[in-house]
Amino acid sequence: MLNFVRFLRVLIIIFISVFGAFQIAPAVACTTNEISINNGTTCVPSQFEMQVCNFPSNGDDFTFYVSALGTLYIDWGDGYTETKTLGNNILNNRMALTRKFYDTQECYTIRLSGNFTQYPKKDTNYSNAVISIYGGYATPEYLYGISGSLGALFPTKNNGTSATDQPLFYASFRGATNLTGPIPAGLFDGISGTARTRMFNEMFYGCTNLDGYIPYDLFDGITNISSSNMNNIFYNDTKLDTACPTGTTQVTTGYENFWKPATSGTNSTPRVACKPDSTSCDHAYGGQCPDLCSFGTQLRTSTGLTFPLFATKVTTVAINVKQNGVTCYVPLETGNGGTGSLNLTYNNTTYRAGVLDN
Protein backbone atom coordinates (compact mmCIF):
# COMPACT_ATOMS: atom_id res chain seq x y z
CA MET A 1 0.00 0.00 0.00
CA LEU A 2 2.84 2.37 0.88
CA ASN A 3 4.51 1.75 -2.46
CA PHE A 4 1.23 2.52 -4.24
CA VAL A 5 0.89 5.85 -2.42
CA ARG A 6 4.47 6.74 -3.36
CA PHE A 7 3.68 5.81 -6.95
CA LEU A 8 0.70 8.18 -6.99
CA ARG A 9 2.84 10.99 -5.54
CA VAL A 10 5.41 10.49 -8.27
CA LEU A 11 2.69 10.62 -10.91
CA ILE A 12 1.33 13.86 -9.47
CA ILE A 13 4.81 15.43 -9.42
CA ILE A 14 5.41 14.38 -13.05
CA PHE A 15 2.00 15.74 -14.09
CA ILE A 16 2.63 19.11 -12.44
CA SER A 17 6.13 19.41 -13.86
CA VAL A 18 5.02 18.54 -17.39
CA PHE A 19 1.68 20.27 -17.59
CA GLY A 20 2.04 22.99 -15.01
CA ALA A 21 3.38 25.45 -17.59
CA PHE A 22 0.24 25.15 -19.66
CA GLN A 23 -2.42 27.63 -18.73
CA ILE A 24 -5.95 28.10 -19.95
CA ALA A 25 -6.15 31.15 -22.20
CA PRO A 26 -7.96 34.01 -20.48
CA ALA A 27 -11.36 35.09 -21.72
CA VAL A 28 -11.39 37.99 -24.18
CA ALA A 29 -13.71 40.93 -23.58
CA CYS A 30 -15.77 41.12 -26.77
CA THR A 31 -17.55 44.30 -27.83
CA THR A 32 -21.31 44.56 -28.20
CA ASN A 33 -20.85 44.02 -31.94
CA GLU A 34 -18.87 40.80 -31.52
CA ILE A 35 -19.63 37.20 -30.58
CA SER A 36 -17.51 35.29 -28.07
CA ILE A 37 -16.41 31.84 -29.31
CA ASN A 38 -13.87 29.15 -28.39
CA ASN A 39 -14.73 29.30 -24.70
CA GLY A 40 -14.36 33.05 -24.65
CA THR A 41 -10.86 33.19 -26.13
CA THR A 42 -11.87 34.61 -29.51
CA CYS A 43 -14.24 37.29 -30.77
CA VAL A 44 -15.87 37.28 -34.21
CA PRO A 45 -17.79 40.25 -35.68
CA SER A 46 -21.56 40.02 -35.61
CA GLN A 47 -22.92 40.03 -39.17
CA PHE A 48 -26.69 39.95 -38.69
CA GLU A 49 -28.91 40.67 -35.70
CA MET A 50 -32.51 39.92 -34.73
CA GLN A 51 -34.29 41.79 -31.95
CA VAL A 52 -36.86 39.61 -30.18
CA CYS A 53 -39.29 40.97 -27.60
CA ASN A 54 -42.33 40.54 -25.36
CA PHE A 55 -42.04 37.02 -24.06
CA PRO A 56 -44.49 35.82 -21.40
CA SER A 57 -43.42 35.78 -17.75
CA ASN A 58 -43.36 31.98 -17.74
CA GLY A 59 -41.13 31.99 -20.82
CA ASP A 60 -41.47 30.82 -24.40
CA ASP A 61 -39.20 29.55 -27.16
CA PHE A 62 -37.88 31.65 -30.00
CA THR A 63 -37.11 29.32 -32.89
CA PHE A 64 -35.55 30.04 -36.25
CA TYR A 65 -34.13 27.73 -38.92
CA VAL A 66 -30.89 27.64 -40.90
CA SER A 67 -30.13 25.61 -44.01
CA ALA A 68 -26.52 25.95 -45.18
CA LEU A 69 -23.24 24.06 -45.06
CA GLY A 70 -20.68 25.49 -42.66
CA THR A 71 -20.40 26.98 -39.18
CA LEU A 72 -22.82 29.29 -37.37
CA TYR A 73 -21.94 31.34 -34.28
CA ILE A 74 -24.83 32.53 -32.09
CA ASP A 75 -24.98 35.03 -29.27
CA TRP A 76 -28.51 34.67 -27.92
CA GLY A 77 -28.39 38.01 -26.11
CA ASP A 78 -28.99 36.52 -22.67
CA GLY A 79 -25.36 35.68 -21.90
CA TYR A 80 -25.36 32.33 -23.72
CA THR A 81 -23.34 31.71 -26.89
CA GLU A 82 -22.93 28.59 -28.97
CA THR A 83 -21.31 27.29 -32.13
CA LYS A 84 -23.22 25.08 -34.55
CA THR A 85 -21.58 22.96 -37.24
CA LEU A 86 -24.01 22.38 -40.10
CA GLY A 87 -23.31 19.34 -42.27
CA ASN A 88 -24.59 18.18 -45.65
CA ASN A 89 -27.81 16.83 -44.17
CA ILE A 90 -28.84 20.37 -43.24
CA LEU A 91 -29.03 21.32 -46.92
CA ASN A 92 -32.22 19.27 -47.23
CA ASN A 93 -33.24 19.14 -43.58
CA ARG A 94 -32.96 22.58 -42.03
CA MET A 95 -31.72 22.93 -38.47
CA ALA A 96 -34.02 24.34 -35.79
CA LEU A 97 -32.29 26.73 -33.40
CA THR A 98 -34.22 27.39 -30.21
CA ARG A 99 -33.76 29.38 -27.03
CA LYS A 100 -36.26 30.01 -24.25
CA PHE A 101 -36.66 33.63 -23.16
CA TYR A 102 -38.51 35.29 -20.31
CA ASP A 103 -39.79 38.84 -19.89
CA THR A 104 -36.99 39.70 -17.46
CA GLN A 105 -36.03 42.38 -19.98
CA GLU A 106 -38.01 43.96 -22.77
CA CYS A 107 -35.96 42.70 -25.70
CA TYR A 108 -33.02 40.45 -26.54
CA THR A 109 -30.63 40.96 -29.46
CA ILE A 110 -29.60 37.70 -31.12
CA ARG A 111 -26.30 38.14 -32.98
CA LEU A 112 -25.23 35.80 -35.75
CA SER A 113 -21.96 35.22 -37.53
CA GLY A 114 -20.84 32.37 -39.73
CA ASN A 115 -18.70 30.82 -42.39
CA PHE A 116 -20.68 28.95 -45.04
CA THR A 117 -19.51 27.13 -48.15
CA GLN A 118 -22.71 25.90 -49.78
CA TYR A 119 -26.45 26.58 -49.89
CA PRO A 120 -29.39 24.28 -50.66
CA LYS A 121 -29.93 23.34 -54.29
CA LYS A 122 -33.69 23.07 -53.84
CA ASP A 123 -35.88 26.18 -53.90
CA THR A 124 -39.28 24.55 -53.51
CA ASN A 125 -40.50 26.55 -50.50
CA TYR A 126 -39.56 28.21 -47.22
CA SER A 127 -37.97 25.01 -45.89
CA ASN A 128 -35.06 25.57 -48.32
CA ALA A 129 -34.30 29.12 -47.10
CA VAL A 130 -30.85 29.70 -45.59
CA ILE A 131 -32.56 31.44 -42.67
CA SER A 132 -36.24 31.43 -41.79
CA ILE A 133 -38.56 32.19 -38.89
CA TYR A 134 -41.54 30.72 -40.72
CA GLY A 135 -43.06 27.24 -40.64
CA GLY A 136 -42.50 24.31 -38.33
CA TYR A 137 -41.95 25.44 -34.74
CA ALA A 138 -40.84 28.95 -35.75
CA THR A 139 -42.14 31.86 -33.69
CA PRO A 140 -42.22 34.91 -35.99
CA GLU A 141 -44.45 36.89 -33.63
CA TYR A 142 -41.46 37.60 -31.34
CA LEU A 143 -39.35 39.25 -34.06
CA TYR A 144 -39.44 43.06 -33.73
CA GLY A 145 -36.35 44.24 -35.61
CA ILE A 146 -33.48 43.22 -37.85
CA SER A 147 -30.12 44.87 -38.47
CA GLY A 148 -26.81 44.16 -40.10
CA SER A 149 -26.31 42.25 -43.34
CA LEU A 150 -27.71 38.90 -44.42
CA GLY A 151 -25.29 39.16 -47.34
CA ALA A 152 -22.37 39.24 -44.92
CA LEU A 153 -23.71 36.16 -43.13
CA PHE A 154 -24.68 34.31 -46.34
CA PRO A 155 -22.57 35.83 -49.15
CA THR A 156 -22.52 34.77 -52.79
CA LYS A 157 -19.97 32.01 -53.34
CA ASN A 158 -17.88 31.46 -56.49
CA ASN A 159 -19.49 34.44 -58.26
CA GLY A 160 -22.86 32.72 -58.05
CA THR A 161 -22.10 30.27 -60.84
CA SER A 162 -24.57 27.66 -59.56
CA ALA A 163 -27.71 27.53 -57.44
CA THR A 164 -25.78 26.25 -54.44
CA ASP A 165 -23.58 29.37 -54.58
CA GLN A 166 -26.48 31.75 -53.97
CA PRO A 167 -28.46 32.02 -50.72
CA LEU A 168 -32.24 31.61 -50.77
CA PHE A 169 -34.49 33.84 -48.64
CA TYR A 170 -37.83 32.30 -49.55
CA ALA A 171 -40.31 33.50 -46.87
CA SER A 172 -37.46 34.19 -44.44
CA PHE A 173 -39.47 36.66 -42.33
CA ARG A 174 -42.97 35.72 -43.43
CA GLY A 175 -45.55 36.21 -40.72
CA ALA A 176 -43.42 38.52 -38.55
CA THR A 177 -46.39 40.76 -37.76
CA ASN A 178 -44.47 42.77 -35.15
CA LEU A 179 -41.42 43.42 -37.31
CA THR A 180 -40.89 47.15 -37.86
CA GLY A 181 -38.55 49.08 -40.13
CA PRO A 182 -36.45 50.51 -41.38
CA ILE A 183 -35.20 47.82 -43.75
CA PRO A 184 -31.39 47.82 -43.35
CA ALA A 185 -29.80 49.49 -46.38
CA GLY A 186 -26.98 46.95 -46.45
CA LEU A 187 -29.19 43.92 -45.92
CA PHE A 188 -27.92 42.18 -49.08
CA ASP A 189 -24.39 43.56 -49.22
CA GLY A 190 -22.17 40.63 -50.14
CA ILE A 191 -24.69 39.13 -52.58
CA SER A 192 -24.07 39.65 -56.30
CA GLY A 193 -24.57 38.06 -59.68
CA THR A 194 -27.62 36.32 -61.10
CA ALA A 195 -30.55 35.92 -58.73
CA ARG A 196 -31.63 32.33 -58.28
CA THR A 197 -35.22 31.19 -58.73
CA ARG A 198 -37.51 32.24 -55.84
CA MET A 199 -34.56 33.99 -54.19
CA PHE A 200 -36.64 36.71 -52.45
CA ASN A 201 -40.17 35.31 -52.87
CA GLU A 202 -42.46 36.14 -49.92
CA MET A 203 -39.48 37.27 -47.86
CA PHE A 204 -41.48 39.88 -45.86
CA TYR A 205 -44.92 38.42 -46.62
CA GLY A 206 -47.45 39.51 -44.00
CA CYS A 207 -45.09 41.79 -42.07
CA THR A 208 -47.99 44.16 -41.43
CA ASN A 209 -46.04 46.55 -39.20
CA LEU A 210 -42.98 46.86 -41.43
CA ASP A 211 -42.64 50.60 -42.10
CA GLY A 212 -40.32 53.07 -43.79
CA TYR A 213 -39.15 53.05 -47.39
CA ILE A 214 -37.19 50.54 -49.45
CA PRO A 215 -33.49 51.53 -49.73
CA TYR A 216 -32.81 52.53 -53.33
CA ASP A 217 -29.71 50.33 -53.61
CA LEU A 218 -31.03 47.34 -51.68
CA PHE A 219 -30.62 44.97 -54.63
CA ASP A 220 -27.60 46.58 -56.29
CA GLY A 221 -25.24 44.08 -57.87
CA ILE A 222 -27.95 41.41 -58.15
CA THR A 223 -29.13 40.79 -61.73
CA ASN A 224 -31.94 38.92 -63.47
CA ILE A 225 -34.54 39.92 -60.87
CA SER A 226 -38.05 39.08 -62.08
CA SER A 227 -41.41 37.76 -60.91
CA SER A 228 -39.80 34.34 -60.56
CA ASN A 229 -37.54 35.47 -57.71
CA MET A 230 -39.30 38.48 -56.09
CA ASN A 231 -42.94 37.43 -56.12
CA ASN A 232 -44.99 38.74 -53.17
CA ILE A 233 -41.89 39.93 -51.34
CA PHE A 234 -43.94 42.63 -49.53
CA TYR A 235 -47.38 41.04 -49.68
CA ASN A 236 -49.85 42.77 -47.33
CA ASP A 237 -47.13 45.02 -45.88
CA THR A 238 -49.47 48.00 -45.75
CA LYS A 239 -47.28 50.33 -43.65
CA LEU A 240 -44.40 50.63 -46.11
CA ASP A 241 -44.13 54.09 -47.66
CA THR A 242 -45.85 54.78 -50.97
CA ALA A 243 -44.20 58.23 -51.19
CA CYS A 244 -40.70 59.23 -50.18
CA PRO A 245 -40.48 61.25 -46.95
CA THR A 246 -38.90 64.68 -46.63
CA GLY A 247 -35.13 64.52 -46.91
CA THR A 248 -35.18 61.73 -49.48
CA THR A 249 -35.74 61.46 -53.23
CA GLN A 250 -37.60 58.68 -55.00
CA VAL A 251 -35.50 56.43 -57.23
CA THR A 252 -37.03 54.18 -59.88
CA THR A 253 -35.46 50.74 -59.67
CA GLY A 254 -37.63 48.84 -62.14
CA TYR A 255 -38.76 46.42 -59.43
CA GLU A 256 -41.74 48.45 -58.26
CA ASN A 257 -44.29 46.09 -59.83
CA PHE A 258 -43.07 43.39 -57.47
CA TRP A 259 -43.51 45.63 -54.41
CA LYS A 260 -47.27 46.02 -54.43
CA PRO A 261 -49.08 45.31 -51.16
CA ALA A 262 -51.28 42.68 -52.80
CA THR A 263 -50.49 39.95 -55.28
CA SER A 264 -48.66 40.85 -58.47
CA GLY A 265 -50.94 42.08 -61.22
CA THR A 266 -53.23 44.21 -59.05
CA ASN A 267 -53.40 47.97 -59.46
CA SER A 268 -52.48 48.67 -55.84
CA THR A 269 -49.99 51.49 -55.23
CA PRO A 270 -46.46 50.06 -55.13
CA ARG A 271 -43.96 50.79 -52.37
CA VAL A 272 -41.20 53.24 -53.16
CA ALA A 273 -37.41 53.21 -53.15
CA CYS A 274 -35.82 56.33 -51.71
CA LYS A 275 -32.35 57.83 -51.53
CA PRO A 276 -31.37 60.20 -48.72
CA ASP A 277 -30.66 63.69 -50.02
CA SER A 278 -27.06 64.89 -50.04
CA THR A 279 -26.02 66.97 -47.06
CA SER A 280 -23.07 69.24 -46.51
CA CYS A 281 -20.16 67.81 -44.59
CA ASP A 282 -16.97 69.10 -43.05
CA HIS A 283 -14.58 66.96 -45.04
CA ALA A 284 -15.04 65.64 -48.58
CA TYR A 285 -13.05 63.19 -50.70
CA GLY A 286 -12.76 64.00 -54.37
CA GLY A 287 -15.53 66.52 -54.06
CA GLN A 288 -17.92 63.86 -52.74
CA CYS A 289 -19.41 63.88 -49.28
CA PRO A 290 -18.97 60.30 -48.00
CA ASP A 291 -21.40 58.53 -45.72
CA LEU A 292 -20.89 58.78 -42.00
CA CYS A 293 -19.98 55.68 -40.03
CA SER A 294 -23.38 55.11 -38.45
CA PHE A 295 -23.21 51.31 -38.44
CA GLY A 296 -21.73 50.38 -35.10
CA THR A 297 -18.05 50.83 -35.93
CA GLN A 298 -16.17 50.76 -32.65
CA LEU A 299 -13.19 52.63 -31.26
CA ARG A 300 -11.42 50.48 -28.68
CA THR A 301 -9.36 52.11 -25.94
CA SER A 302 -6.29 50.72 -24.23
CA THR A 303 -8.45 49.85 -21.23
CA GLY A 304 -10.80 47.76 -23.32
CA LEU A 305 -13.68 50.23 -23.34
CA THR A 306 -15.42 50.82 -26.67
CA PHE A 307 -17.28 53.76 -28.12
CA PRO A 308 -19.45 53.79 -31.26
CA LEU A 309 -18.32 56.16 -34.00
CA PHE A 310 -21.51 58.12 -34.58
CA ALA A 311 -19.66 61.42 -34.94
CA THR A 312 -20.89 63.97 -37.47
CA LYS A 313 -18.10 66.52 -37.54
CA VAL A 314 -14.51 66.28 -38.75
CA THR A 315 -11.98 68.02 -36.52
CA THR A 316 -8.47 67.85 -37.93
CA VAL A 317 -8.06 64.45 -39.59
CA ALA A 318 -10.48 62.07 -41.34
CA ILE A 319 -9.91 58.55 -42.61
CA ASN A 320 -11.95 56.29 -44.85
CA VAL A 321 -13.42 53.07 -43.50
CA LYS A 322 -15.11 50.46 -45.66
CA GLN A 323 -17.47 47.92 -44.16
CA ASN A 324 -20.05 45.73 -45.87
CA GLY A 325 -19.49 47.60 -49.12
CA VAL A 326 -20.15 51.02 -47.56
CA THR A 327 -17.36 53.60 -47.57
CA CYS A 328 -17.63 56.25 -44.88
CA TYR A 329 -15.36 58.57 -42.98
CA VAL A 330 -14.34 58.63 -39.33
CA PRO A 331 -13.48 62.03 -37.82
CA LEU A 332 -10.30 61.81 -35.76
CA GLU A 333 -7.72 63.99 -34.04
CA THR A 334 -4.02 63.36 -33.55
CA GLY A 335 -3.75 61.52 -30.27
CA ASN A 336 -1.64 62.20 -27.23
CA GLY A 337 -0.70 58.60 -26.52
CA GLY A 338 2.39 58.32 -28.68
CA THR A 339 2.99 57.16 -32.25
CA GLY A 340 -0.11 55.80 -33.91
CA SER A 341 -2.39 57.10 -31.20
CA LEU A 342 -5.67 58.75 -32.18
CA ASN A 343 -8.33 60.68 -30.38
CA LEU A 344 -12.06 60.59 -31.04
CA THR A 345 -14.20 63.53 -30.03
CA TYR A 346 -17.68 62.18 -29.37
CA ASN A 347 -20.47 64.19 -27.74
CA ASN A 348 -17.94 66.88 -26.81
CA THR A 349 -15.81 64.31 -24.97
CA THR A 350 -12.36 63.27 -26.21
CA TYR A 351 -11.39 59.61 -25.99
CA ARG A 352 -7.84 58.42 -26.54
CA ALA A 353 -7.21 55.18 -28.42
CA GLY A 354 -4.54 53.41 -30.38
CA VAL A 355 -6.46 50.66 -32.15
CA LEU A 356 -9.38 50.79 -34.56
CA ASP A 357 -11.38 47.57 -34.97
CA ASN A 358 -11.87 48.22 -38.69
Contact 34, 43 (CB under 8 A): yes
Write out the residue range of the structural domain in which residue 205 sits: 34-276
Q: Are residues 183 and 306 in the same domain?
A: no
In a domain, 305, yes or no: yes
pLDDT at 307: 41
Confidence of residue 267 (pLDDT cuts 50, 70, 90): low
Q: Are residues 304 and 342 in the same domain?
A: yes
Mind listing the pLDDT tens digit for each residue in 187-227? 999 999 999 999 999 999 999 999 999 999 999 999 999 98
The secondary structure of 118-160, three-state, reads: ECCCCCCCHHHCCEECCCCCCCHHHEEEEEECHHHHCCCCHHH
Of residues 277 and 234, more confidently modeled: 234
- What is the domain count for the chain? 2
Q: Are residues 251 and 158 in the same domain?
A: yes
Q: pTM of the predicted model, to two decimals?
A: 0.72
In a domain, 24, yes or no: no
In a domain, 312, yes or no: yes
Q: Are residues 143 and 173 in the same domain?
A: yes
Contact 204, 234 (CB under 8 A): yes
